[in-house]
């Protein structure tokens, strides 16, 4: 294994005494094989997203074309675009300085061949394992279109390092752990003041972490070096459904990600490069890159290529992959752009961020949290254990309906009835019935009636048909004015009639709506006009109505370009046929990043209270047990509190994915039905059980809202804030006071959050009666001092 390089690297003079070769190289064939899958995906993007056939160079390396899914195509398009932007900015800037572009773990990527003719003075270097480079060299040599781009090429397939050598391109077959050999090759081609761009596109993550760290540290010694890194991260830990699926996939193909455990986050990666000598570093997740580094014109182009409606999966993918750009000198133009531009969605971390306290986290830590238990039970009808993007609604007391959605194979047209008392799901077969669909809504309208609105077949097939279910049969009712899916719907009572109010959604032709429509059984559909400016057009938003307030709440969703919206709007009817809205701003100290989410479920749990559950967040990917996946909203007081959900010990590894699910509120319990995620090209994760959020069995934590003044034995009151101010010491944090419920959930929450707690009305048993100074002296001896304060009949403070 290569040892870390401790000595400073002064220019490019010989430093071989500080470089050590790997004593024994074991080439992981499974890692080499990841290239074969990657280039097939890149070729799929190339064929559909690259209009100029002259740039279709991957066809020479992929003999048999395979079309990938829209999700994989979009993810690889973004990955390829980030590399393209970085390379072209590097090549076109500071053109008077010799430049070298080094593609680490290049595989069959023909990246240099796109630029050999356009930038004749640039030196391109491909580096990978010997057997991979030899295969690549053979293809290049036998492909005139590629070979003719090289200046005086020399092929040495039996060489132990340089397989192709030419004036403008070098193909090196070595193990990147062998830094001594790699350094010698670069010394032969570079001068001290040259600029170098190292690119590692999901490559060095397969190396042992010590070797990868040594490579990063070694590269930083070059005065004009830049480093572009694309890899995976674990923003919500390894138990997140996407992460579990991803890690399992790479273990299964015997190509485990070796760096991700030590560097699981953007912050850790930026700290890594900072520690190893890179003076300026910026990193962002792929979702942040999509929202902030891809232009509106590019997004429109991508949308036009093929139907796409895997937004939650795309965001989850984007939150688990990152792009990092580092410079060994001061920030260049690219870094300044990434540092200073306004960041609308996604996560970004810079060297400046790791050098100062995270004030946002400090503020968030002071927000009070509520606690609730989350239980999972297996009681599904066979065939209902894998389902997402369906819809659920309360049918009557203790009974709910679930319709449609997608299982592991196709869209469904099956109706299921869930009986809470029996904890049973039953299939209902009726004729006629709605066609198979996803992304529709079900809304309760009156006694034992539910309205189904819209949905889609494929993403280009927005459905306009609507159906009414009475507990036995489906009946088709008036169609929507325009087909739409991923819309928001809520029940509303107008002039003694049950109605359904619908906002937004997607239509055919990538249309995204900003309009309201209203349905009643007597009048069908009618338009509801917005007073003043309409809400931002959106889809997958959350909408609920609160009759006692004669108002509703609309929040979140995706914008037309796939940005997650973070607003909260209070809406109310403004007379017949019109609606008005006002913006609800989060309370001071509350991070709006917890509000900005799409695909979430907003469910009233009282006259003025609601739970906002799940979805994908625009700024963070939260661990499943982190307070904030579920928010408690008090609409009348405009208060928001994160809900800490607790699983029992035996279920700690059963955290669900709160995407693609729907919820129903039955008997003071929120039932989570369905849910699943496609983890890019690495497999799928499904919720196999129903989730039950137990609100009724717990009481919210009683948070102390006033300063606590400890009462001493002399009953003298001391103002702690004044004391701490006088001695110049930071003021202490307020301690939360809890009244325990009947179970241990609140204790588990306290332990999980690692905060000091003060428990009221907590019985300690017989000790409160027998502990006295005399008793304690007899029990512990007179040489030990024991302090206690007693508030009869229970210990108050000790």
Length of the chain: 798
Domain boundary (356, 379, 406) is at: 356
- For the chain, 798 residues long, the average pLDDT of each consecutive 10-residue run is 34 35 47 90 98 95 96 98 96 90 97 96 96 96 97 94 96 96 92 94 96 97 96 94 94 92 96 96 97 96 96 98 93 81 91 65 47 64 81 95 93 93 87 96 95 96 97 96 97 94 94 97 95 94 95 96 94 90 72 82 91 91 80 85 70 76 89 92 86 54 28 30 34 46 49 54 68 73 57 42
Q: Within 13 Å of residue 260, how many CA atoms lie on the same side as its CB? A: 25
| Shared domain check, 408 and 336 | no
| Shared domain check, 689 and 733 | no
Domain boundary (356, 381, 404) is at: 356
| Shared domain check, 476 and 547 | yes
pLDDT of amino acid 412 = 94
Q: What is the CATH number of the domain that holds 326?
A: 3.40.50.150
pLDDT of amino acid 329 = 84
Torsion angles phi and psi, residue 513, rounded to 5: -90, 150
Q: Which domain holds residue 576?
A: 370-694
| Shared domain check, 620 and 543 | yes
pLDDT of amino acid 653 = 63
In a domain? residue 702: no
In a domain? residue 476: yes
C-alpha gyration radius of the chain? 30
Residues ≥6 apart with Cβ < 8 Å to 357 = none
In a domain? residue 413: yes
pLDDT of amino acid 761 = 59
pLDDT of amino acid 787 = 55
Domain count, the chain: 3
Rounded distance between C-alpha atoms, residue 256 and residue 240, angstroms: 17
Rounded distance between C-alpha atoms, residue 234 and residue 255, angstroms: 17
Domain boundary (694, 729, 750) is at: 694
What is the DSSP secondary structure assignment for residue 151, as one 8-state letter? Answer: S
Contact by Cβ (8 Å): 161, 170:
no
Q: In 3-state terms, what secondary structure has residue 663?
A: strand
Residues ≥6 apart with Cβ < 8 Å to 81 = 294, 298
Positive or negative torsion for Cα 594, 596, 602, 607: positive
| Shared domain check, 374 and 352 | no
205: nearest Cα among 91, 329, 38? 38
Rounded distance between C-alpha atoms, residue 506 and residue 504, angstroms: 7
Q: What is the CATH number of the domain that holds 559?
A: 2.120.10.80
| Shared domain check, 269 and 313 | yes
In a domain? residue 729: yes
| Shared domain check, 676 and 539 | yes
| Shared domain check, 152 and 292 | yes
Structure tokens at 270: 């930026």
Rounded distance between C-alpha atoms, residue 340 and residue 38, angstroms: 33
| Shared domain check, 73 and 189 | yes
Contact by Cβ (8 Å): 321, 264:
no
| Shared domain check, 752 and 646 | no
| Shared domain check, 323 and 414 | no
Residue 299: exposure state from Cβ atoms within 10 A (0-12, 13-18, ≥19) = middle
In a domain? residue 707: no
In a domain? residue 2: no
In a domain? residue 130: yes
pLDDT of amino acid 379 = 53
| Shared domain check, 585 and 661 | yes
In a domain? residue 308: yes
């Amino acid at each position: 294994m290569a040892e870390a390089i401790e000595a400073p690297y002064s220019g490019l003079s010989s430093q071989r005494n500080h470089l050590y070769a790997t004593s024994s190289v074991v080439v992981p064939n499974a890692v080499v094989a990841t290239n074969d899958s990657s280039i097939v995906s890149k070729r799929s993007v190339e064929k559909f997203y690259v209009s100029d056939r002259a740039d279709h160079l991957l066809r020479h390396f992929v003999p048999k074309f395979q079309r990938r899914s829209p999700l994989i195509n979009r993810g690889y398009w973004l990955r390829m675009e980030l590399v393209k932007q970085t390379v072209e900015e590097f090549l076109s800037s500071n053109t008077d300085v010799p430049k070298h572009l080094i593609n680490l773990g290049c595989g069959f990527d023909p990246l240099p061949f796109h630029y050999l003719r356009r930038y004749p003075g640039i030196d391109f270097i491909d580096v990978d394992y010997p057997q991979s480079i030899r295969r690549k060299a053979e293809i290049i040599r036998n492909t005139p279109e590629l070979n003719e781009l090289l200046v005086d090429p020399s092929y040495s397939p039996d060489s132990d390092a340089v397989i192709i050598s030419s004036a403008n391109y070098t193909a090196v077959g070595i193990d990147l752990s062998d830094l001594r050999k790699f350094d010698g090759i670069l010394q032969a081609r570079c001068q001290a003041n040259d600029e170098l761009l190292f690119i590692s596109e999901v490559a060095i993550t397969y190396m042992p972490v010590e070797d990868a760290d040594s490579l990063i540290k070694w590269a930083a010694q070059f005065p004009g070096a830049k480093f572009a890194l694309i890899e995976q991260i674990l923003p919500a830990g390894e138990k997140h459904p996407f992460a579990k699926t991803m890690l399992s996939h790479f273990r299964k193909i015997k190509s485990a990600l070796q760096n991700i455990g030590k560097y699981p986050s953007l912050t850790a990666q930026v700290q890594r490069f900072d520690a190893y000598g890179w003076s300026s570093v910026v990193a962002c997740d792929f979702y942040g890159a999509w929202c902030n580094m891809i232009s509106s014109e590019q997004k429109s182009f991508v949308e036009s290529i093929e139907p796409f409606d895997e937004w939650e999966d795309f965001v989850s993918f984007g939150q688990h992959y990152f792009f990092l750009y580092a410079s060994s000198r001061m920030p260049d133009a690219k870094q300044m752009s990434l540092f200073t531009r306004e960041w609308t969605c996604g996560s970004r971390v810079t060297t400046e961020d790791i050098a100062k306290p995270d004030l946002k986290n400090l503020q968030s830590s002071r927000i009070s949290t509520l606690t609730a238990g989350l239980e999972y039970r297996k009681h599904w009808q066979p065939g209902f254990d894998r389902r997402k993007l369906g819809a659920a609604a309360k049918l009557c007391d203790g009974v709910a309906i679930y319709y449609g959605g997608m299982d592991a194979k196709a869209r469904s047209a099956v109706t299921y009835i869930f009986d809470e008392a029996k904890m049973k799901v039953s299939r209902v077969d009726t004729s006629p019935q709605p066609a198979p669909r996803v992304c529709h809504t079900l809304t309760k309208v009156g006694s034992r009636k539910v309205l189904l609105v819209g949905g889609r077949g494929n993403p280009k097939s927005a459905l306009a048909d609507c159906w009414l279910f009475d507990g036995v049969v489906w009946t088709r009712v008036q169609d929507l004015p325009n087909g739409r899916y991923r819309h928001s719907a809520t029940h509303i009572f107008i002039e003694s009639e049950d109605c359904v109010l619908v906002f937004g959604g997607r239509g055919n032709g990538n249309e995204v709506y900003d309009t309201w429509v209203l349905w009643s059984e007597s009048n069908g559909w009618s338009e509801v006009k917005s007073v003043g400016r309409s809400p931002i057009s959106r889809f997958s938003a959350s909408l609920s109505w609160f009759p006692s307030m004669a108002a509703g709440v609309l929040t979140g969703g995706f914008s037309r370009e796939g940005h997650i919206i973070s607003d909260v709007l209070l809406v109310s009817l403004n007379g017949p046929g019109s609606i008005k809205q006002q913006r609800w701003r989060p309370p001071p100290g509350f991070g709006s990043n917890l509000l900005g989410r799409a695909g979430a479920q907003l469910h009233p749990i009282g006259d003025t209270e609601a739970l906002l559950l799940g979805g994908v967040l625009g700024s963070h990917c939260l661990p499943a047990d982190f307070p904030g996946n579920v928010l408690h909203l008090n609409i009348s007081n405009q208060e928001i509190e994160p809900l800490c959900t607790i699983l029992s010990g035996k279920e700690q590894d059963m955290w669900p994915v709160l995407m693609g699910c729907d919820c129903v509120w039955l008997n003071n319990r929120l039932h989570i039905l369905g849910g699943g995620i496609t983890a890019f090209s690495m497999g799928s994760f499904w919720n196999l059980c129903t989730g039950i959020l137990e609100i009724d069995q717990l009481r919210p934590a009683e948070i102390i809202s006033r300063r606590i003044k400890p009462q001493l034995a002399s009953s003298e009151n001391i103002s702690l804030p004044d004391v701490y101010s006088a001695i110049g010491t930071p003021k202490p944090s307020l301690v939360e006071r809890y009244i325990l419920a009947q179970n241990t959930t609140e204790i588990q929450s306290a332990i999980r959050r690692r905060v000091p707690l003060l428990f009221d009305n907590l019985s300690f048993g017989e000790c409160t009666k027998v502990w006295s100074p005399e008793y304690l002296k007899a029990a512990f001896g007179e040489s030990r001092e024991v302090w206690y304060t007693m508030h009869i009949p229970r210990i108050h403070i000790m």
